Amino acid sequence: MKLTLRIWRQAGPEDAGRFDDHEVPDAEPEMSVLELLDTLNGRLVDEGREPVAFDSDCREGICGACGVTVDGRPHGPAENTPSCHQRLDRYSDGDTLRIEPLRAAVFPVIRDLVVDRSALDGIAEAGAHVSIPAGTAPDADAMLQGHDDAETALDFAACIGCGACVAACPNGSANLFLGAKLGHLALMPVSGLERGSRAREMVREADTEFGPCSLYGECSRVCPAGIPLRAVAVVNRERLRSVFRRG
């Protein structure tokens, strides 16, 4: 099928940017959005033109690198699906796809579809340490954890840090990402020892860089890891708990 791609092109952070239209006459329904971009770039290179810059790595939905915006929706039309798994079977011959970067004030465009998501790294770095005595590895059963807590922690730990939740939020909030990290670490026996100080630092960093939660709810629908909306409530819970408890 023939598809028209209206793609955001931007030479660098200081460039104003623009949309360029390109036709891909041999798109297949089983292609992903990234494979569609691969096909377009192959043609552009053959013609001696500049290919479209975009991020990707594993293409298995676990690295979080591939996020783009398709027709105004982070990752694409299918809910809870990363860009690398968004298939073209939703489109028909002659359709037009508008593809642009993840749009958020904290995600400046580096080039074309590539954005700087280091603001999310700042949240992780603010709380990504655990102070424990160094030494030999403890026995596996030295510190017990309940099954339900372990399963919930793993659900939160599934967050891949793609930034789609921020781009989907009208306020540019990172509370779904932040809540997933806080919820995961609070439930683990070792990292839970610094629960209060970690929450204070991570919440402070998020408040500095990102907007407040709007309770819009779109963040959980675009999240490719399926992080539940209750992760947003974890932020306020951990924020309030950290006021009264040091650890």
| Mean pLDDT to the nearest integer, 78-103 | 96
Query: Which helix (H) or strand (E) covers residue 43, if one does?
Result: helix 33-46
Cα distance between the two ends of the chain: 58
Using pLDDT thresholds of 50, 70 and 90, give the confidence band for residue 247.
low
Beta-carbon contacts of 227 under 8 Å, excluding residues fewer than 6 positions away, are 155, 156, 158, 159, 165, 176, 179, 180, 220
- pLDDT value of residue 192: 75
- pLDDT value of residue 206: 96
| Mean pLDDT to the nearest integer, 81-100 | 97
- pLDDT value of residue 246: 66
The whole model's pTM is what? 0.91
Mean pLDDT score of the chain, rounded to an integer?
93
| Mean pLDDT to the nearest integer, 161-170 | 96
Instruction: Measure Cα distances from 127 to 117, 123, 198, 202, 208 in Å.
Output: 17, 7, 5, 6, 15
CA separation for the pair 31, 33 (Å, rounded) = 7
- Tens digits of residue pLDDT in 229-244: 999 999 999 999 998 8
CA separation for the pair 110, 101 (Å, rounded) = 10
| Mean pLDDT to the nearest integer, 13-42 | 96
| Mean pLDDT to the nearest integer, 108-131 | 92
| Mean pLDDT to the nearest integer, 210-217 | 92
- pLDDT value of residue 48: 96
Selection from 95, 188, 110, 108 nearest residue 144 by Cα: 188
Report DSSP letters for 83-112, one per residue: GGG-BGGG--TT-EEEEE----TTS-EEET
CA separation for the pair 112, 148 (Å, rounded) = 43
- pLDDT value of residue 129: 73
Domains of the chain: 3-111 (3.10.20.30), 118-244 (1.10.1060.10)
